[in-house]
Amino acid sequence: MHRSVMLRRAGQFVQFKKYFLYICMIKLFLRLSLQSVKHDFILCVGCIASTMQSVVSPGTYCSPGGPQIMSKRGVLTFNKFRQMYQDFWKPPPPKPPYSHICQIGDPVLRGKASPVNVEEIGSAKIKKIIKTMESSLKSYKAIGLAAPQVGVPLRIVVFHFPEDALKTFDEKTLKIREMETIPFKVFINPAMKVTSPNKIRFPEACESIKGFSADVPRFYSVKLTGLNENGKKVEWDAKGWSARVIQHEMDHLDGRLYTDIMDKDSFSFGFWHNVNIRSGRFNLSFSPYKIFS
């Protein structure tokens, strides 16, 4: 390759590095300015300047720890700056209420949820929690959801089982399990009373134990009372499948999962056959928009 071409390409590469570092500096400035840490920004600018100098000037040598500048707070090396830059691009962990559903093993699913302060019902905080729960309930196509499942240890449960979801079951299953549509319901600080001591065993699943199911005994009928999202008293006399859903969600509020009371021999992974026919090349998604791949 001709020497002039090589020099031109080398110059383009150096120019690219300079522009990249300028972009890094601008992004870092935006972050640090929001955090009101101007002193750290000055250190980072100095570090970038030192780095650029080492890139542009072939004769410049760096210490083993990378370019350094001194300040009253000590030495900031290029390695430290690189770590700061990586932290900048890595998104911070989300805060509850989550838009996803927590999975078994998360401590929030094993703690007892706290009652909601009645005076806070209708507040922006509680409205946000309920709105997030409603959104997750519908996007995951679940029937019931408890606040701990979205990372919030409060005694709130929501329910919804629309007509289109009901149609996904055959007539025999609907009749045997006594399944019915459930309009969207919110219960804050719910209390449950068993109205029938008879227990019925049916398969049960949970979005917090994704992909698995088991036979679980539940009381045939219960009565649920509590407050709705407006702070008004509400009650629900339920039987069959609806009563099962209520008991399932009430267990969540007390840190229990269906695995605690299930028929252990019936516990199974719903996609075991897919794992076999794909020779193990199977991925289960915990996103509401994609079940598996």
Beta pairing partners, 145: 158
Residue 270 has phi, psi (to 5 degrees) of -65, -15
DSSP per-residue codes, 134-162:
HHHHHHTT-SEEEGGGGT--BSEEEEEE-
Q: Residue 38: what residue type?
A: K
Name the region of 213 (left: φ>0; alpha: ψ -120 to 50; beta: rest).
beta
Q: Give the whole-angstrom CA distance, residue 149 versus residue 133.
A: 9
Question: Is 199:217 a contact under the CB 8 Å cutoff?
Answer: yes
Supply angle C-alpha 198, 200, 202, rounded to 5: 170
Q: Give the whole-angstrom CA distance, residue 205 versus residue 247.
A: 13
**Set 204, 207, 229, 249: catalytic member:** 249
Residue 249 a catalytic site member: yes
Q: Give the whole-angstrom CA distance, residue 146 versus residue 156.
A: 6
10 is written with which tokens? 């080398």
Q: Give the whole-angstrom CA distance, residue 26 versus residue 45.
A: 10
DSSP per-residue codes, 87-129:
HHHSPPPP-SSPSS---TT-GGGTSPPBPPPGGGTTSHHHHHH
157 is written with which tokens? 């449960």
Residues 6+ apart with CB under 8 A from 99: 132, 135, 136, 150
Catalytic residues: 249
